[in-house]
Structure 1
Amino acid sequence: MLHIRFINAINQLPAEQWNALLGDTDYPFIQHGFLSALEQSGAVGEGTGWQPHHLLVLDGESLVAAMPLYLKSHSYGEYVFDQGWAQAYQQHGLSYYPKLVAAIPFTPAVGPRVLTRHWSAELAEVIHQGLVTEARRLGASSWHVLFDKEARLAGEGSQTREGVQFHWFNRGYQSFEDFLANFKSRKRKAVNKERQLACEGLEVRTLEGSDITPALWQRFYLFYQRTYLIRSGHGGYLSDTFFHQLGAALPAQLLLMAAFDDEEMVAASLFLKDSTTLYGRYWGALGDFDRLHFECCYYRGIEYCIRHGLVRFDAGAQGEHKVARGFEPVVTQSQHWLAHPGFFEAVGDFVAEEKAALAEYRDALTEQLPYRQPEP
């Protein structure tokens, strides 16, 4: 008989048992090593507002499913923005926090959120009821499953909320020039000019696996900190320890697009990858370089996908500027359950209205894509 158990640290379960549930996916962010690096480096855990509370489903003593789950005391680092819901709760004298969130912290990358080798309606019901029961036990207002590629808990007494990201798709291109040949002439010239300006006086190298030495990780961390200081006024959610542990845990799924001035690395973009997709995650530099961000974060990623046969490039959340560079607006989904019946209904109305507005937004952005119209 299926039953639920919760653990408060990923290392309470051996990596082999967690990763055995991956099945055919090699999506990097849900692997034990990635989640462990977050916890061991202190990015999540006590005092961060991300308290690990991972859900396990067992059949007797056998592990059959797992979900990365956190008890949250805020909404930072999620990229599905529900602060308005929290404000509405407060205005009615209610507490929105804590809440349960099934997500990859600080990572809005679409992928699996339930690990199992055998999905079934029974398993969906057990997980749904387990989340509801645990939310009530903990006094949590709600549970949320963010950026689930399979949307496996959609319809399980939850509301589905849509979002928009910008992804690039490999349509059998043989080279970057082959990809650009599909652009309108003016757009193609703009990209070529941008690439030329970005690389003046610099050499951009692709570094993978063991090529990313501890010294390079340390330098990249300085880039990461500087980016957050400029953008947000703080040094970021992640520590240098996290990047070193990530490099040790998933070396074959990591790469840096690094810009060098002679032999000094002056800027870099960090990517993770699996067998089908490249994921752009963090960018930083120790100076201001005109257009280098576009080269390292987008164009070199596209080239990498073409060269290695990857079919999709998720360059990170938000960023309408990606559209002019060939990234297409795509729908993301998240599931939400709220214990309060009135607010559950209100959220249902809200996401329905939001869905209609987002459809118009996607259509407008699709019209701005740089691709030539096919011949009639």
Structure 2
Amino acid sequence: MPDGSDSLAVKVVSRIAEVPAAEWDACAGGNPFVSHAFLNALEESGSATAETGWLPQHLVLENPKGGPGNTLLGCAPLYLKSHSYGEYVFDWNWADAYERAGGRYYPKLQCSVPFTPATGPRLLVNPGAERAEVEAGLTAAMLELARRHQASSLHITFPTKAQYDTLGEFGLLQRLGVQYHWANRGYADFDAFLAELASRKRKAIKKERRKVAESGIRLTALSGDAIEPRHWDAFFAFYRTTADRKWGQPYLTREFFHLLGERLADKVVLVMADHGDELVAGALNLKSDDTLFGRNWGCLERFRFLHFETCYYQAIDYAIAHGLKYVEAGAQGEHKIQRGYLPTPTYSAHWIADAGLSAAVEEFLIRERRAMQHEIAALGDWSPFKDDCGGPEGT
């Protein structure tokens, strides 16, 4: 297990608002989901709070020397949880097995971005700090906090591959998942992307896009000041409709979207669909310097192929036009493969306090990783690209 928390000043904060935004963001880099604005919007809106089962326990590692612009050496978004909802790396079976054996699985610690299955850094390090030391210190502090809370476990979900490897070296259990990502190979436009697909797949996508256009739907990608309150009102209605249809209770509040538009609109790409001057569907994306992340989708009426157009093809159009390298289209969905989104590994790391449960989970994860590696390879055989010329690079 990592060593380093004894020599570094680690503090737990129950509200991210207690941390100066500039200092947090200096550690967070360009990923929008671990930005101070995004995490604070979740808390301030009532979406991720103790009342919803996400008690903030963020870690901040302070520079003992202080100094302007370099106060924090590192930080981590961390929550004490009373359930396993909103995580997208599911441990329900672990919880059930442990509780049937007489254990208490909740509370647990979760290092993640609530309701957001997007890859990004979880151990946030100031560029001027010693990365290995800070990552070791933050990890050691998480484990100590888990013990103090008498939590059953610690879960670090959707870290980068580099941090996944580091956490494995620290002795955490490693889990492999899969999502479907699109890679930009320097395409001049959407037609250039289509030209790399097999003929049958290319024709299918053209047909889907044509059917949407023929239905009279117009699509617009909005960012910054172009997003008006009416757009957020409409999108929240779409989101609620889809949430009611799929899982019954929407995680995010209307206030969250208001705050997102107020504080992070330059990172938002909101694709809105209108039909007969009425807004009928939308897809929420956020962007980093090189990636467009698809997050939420919703619609009021059912139009054939509209989901594919709004969520997948508009995202590709936007990425090409703005020189982004990747589109991450969110969790699940093997149907994305035929639309150019190829299977890509995702990662998580886990620590379990109970030695017996930890051993059982470790044995399970070894088998699961092996199976997942075979599945990713097999799914890759479904690639729509000619000679597999369009696969993701290094993701």
How far is 1:157 from its partner?
Answer: 2.0
Tell me which residue corresponds to 2:50. Answer: 46
Structure 1's consecutive aligned runs of 4 or more residues displaced over 3 angstroms after TM superposition are none
Q: Deviations over 1:317-361 (max 9, x none)?
A: 111000010111011111101111122222111111001111111
Tell me which residue corresponds to 1:59. Answer: 63
Whichever residue aligns with residue 240 of structure 1, its letter is R
Task: Give yes or no for contact 2:123–2:135 (8 Å, CA) kept in 1.
Answer: no
Q: Which of 231, 241, 255 does residue 226 from structure 1 map onto?
A: 241
Spell out the pairing of 1:29-44 with structure 2 (5 A cutoff). 29-44=33-48
Partner secondary structure for residue 387 of structure 2:
coil
Tell me which residue corresponds to 2:99. Answer: 90
Q: Which of 351, 368, 372 does residue 358 from structure 1 map onto?
A: 372
- Confirm whether residue 104 of structure 1 aligns to residue 119 of structure 2: no
Tell me which residue corresponds to 2:219. Answer: 204
Q: Deviations over 1:114-145 (max 9, x none)?
A: 11123433323322221121111111011111
Q: Which of 126, 130, 148 does residue 141 from structure 2 map onto?
A: 130
Spell out the pairing of 1:61-210 with structure 2 (5 A cutoff). 62-116=71-125, 117=127, 118-149=129-160, 150-151=162-163, 152-199=166-213, 200-210=215-225
Partner secondary structure for residue 89 of structure 1:
helix
Whichever residue aligns with residue 4 of structure 1, its letter is V
| Alpha-carbon distance in structure 2 between the residues aligned to 1:128 and 1:40 | 26
Once the two structures are overlaid, the 10-residue window that deviates more, 167-176 or 148-157, is 148-157
Whichever residue aligns with residue 42 of structure 1, its letter is G
Partner secondary structure for residue 71 of structure 1:
strand
| Alpha-carbon distance in structure 1 between the residues aligned to 2:10 and 2:326 | 35
| Alpha-carbon distance in structure 2 between the residues aligned to 1:119 and 1:202 | 52
How far is 1:212 from its partner?
Answer: 0.9
Partner secondary structure for residue 321 of structure 2:
helix
Partner secondary structure for residue 219 of structure 2:
strand
Whichever residue aligns with residue 202 of structure 1, its letter is I
Q: Aligned residue pairs: how many?
A: 372
In structure 2, stretches of 5+ residues that fail to align are 1-6, 390-395
Q: Deviations over 1:241-260 (max 9, x none)?
A: 10000011111111111111
The two structures have a TM-score, normalised by structure 2, of 0.92
Whichever residue aligns with residue 21 of structure 1, its letter is C
Task: Give yes or no for contact 1:203–1:260 (8 Å, CA) kept in 2.
Answer: yes
Tell me which residue corresponds to 1:248. Answer: 262
| Alpha-carbon distance in structure 1 between the residues aligned to 2:10 and 2:171 | 18
Whichever residue aligns with residue 363 of structure 1, its letter is A
Tell me which residue corresponds to 2:16. Answer: 10
Partner secondary structure for residue 154 of structure 1:
helix
Q: Deviations over 1:26-65 (max 9, x none)?
A: 1100001000100000001122111000011123254210
Task: Give yes or no for contact 2:223–2:269 (8 Å, CA) kept in 1.
Answer: yes
| Alpha-carbon distance in structure 1 between the residues aligned to 2:156 and 2:50 | 21
Once the two structures are overlaid, the 10-residue window that deviates more, 193-202 or 28-37, is 193-202
| Alpha-carbon distance in structure 2 between the residues aligned to 1:120 and 1:34 | 24
Task: Give yes or no for contact 2:123–2:138 (8 Å, CA) kept in 1.
Answer: no
Q: Deviations over 1:268-289 (max 9, x none)?
A: 1111001100001111111111
When residues 8 and 372 of structure 1 are mapped into structure 2, their CA distance, relative to the original with a 3 A threshold, is same
Tell me which residue corresponds to 2:393. Answer: none
Whichever residue aligns with residue 110 of structure 1, its letter is T
Tell me which residue corresponds to 1:300. Answer: 314
Task: Give yes or no for contact 1:3–1:126 (8 Å, CA) kept in 2.
Answer: no
| Alpha-carbon distance in structure 1 between the residues aligned to 2:10 and 2:342 | 39
Task: Give yes or no for contact 1:124–1:156 (8 Å, CA) kept in 2.
Answer: no
| Alpha-carbon distance in structure 1 between the residues aligned to 2:222 and 2:140 | 45
| Alpha-carbon distance in structure 2 between the residues aligned to 1:167 and 1:124 | 27
How far is 1:374 from its partner?
Answer: 6.8
When residues 120 and 271 of structure 1 are mapped into structure 2, their CA distance, relative to the original with a 3 A threshold, is closer
How far is 1:153 from its partner?
Answer: 2.4
| Alpha-carbon distance in structure 1 between the residues aligned to 2:203 and 2:218 | 22
Spell out the pairing of 1:279-294 with structure 2 (5 A cutoff). 279-294=293-308
| Alpha-carbon distance in structure 2 between the residues aligned to 1:18 and 1:120 | 15
Tell me which residue corresponds to 1:26. Answer: 30
Partner secondary structure for residue 348 of structure 1:
helix
| Alpha-carbon distance in structure 1 between the residues aligned to 2:123 and 2:136 | 13
| Alpha-carbon distance in structure 2 between the residues aligned to 1:188 and 1:168 | 15
| Alpha-carbon distance in structure 1 between the residues aligned to 2:282 and 2:135 | 41
Task: Give yes or no for contact 2:75–2:138 (8 Å, CA) kept in 1.
Answer: no
| Alpha-carbon distance in structure 1 between the residues aligned to 2:140 and 2:280 | 50
Q: Which of 283, 300, 304 does residue 269 from structure 1 map onto?
A: 283
Partner secondary structure for residue 230 of structure 1:
helix
| Alpha-carbon distance in structure 2 between the residues aligned to 1:40 and 1:317 | 25
How far is 1:3 from its partner?
Answer: 2.1
RMSD, aligned α-carbons: 1.3
| Alpha-carbon distance in structure 1 between the residues aligned to 2:34 and 2:130 | 17
| Alpha-carbon distance in structure 2 between the residues aligned to 1:88 and 1:165 | 27
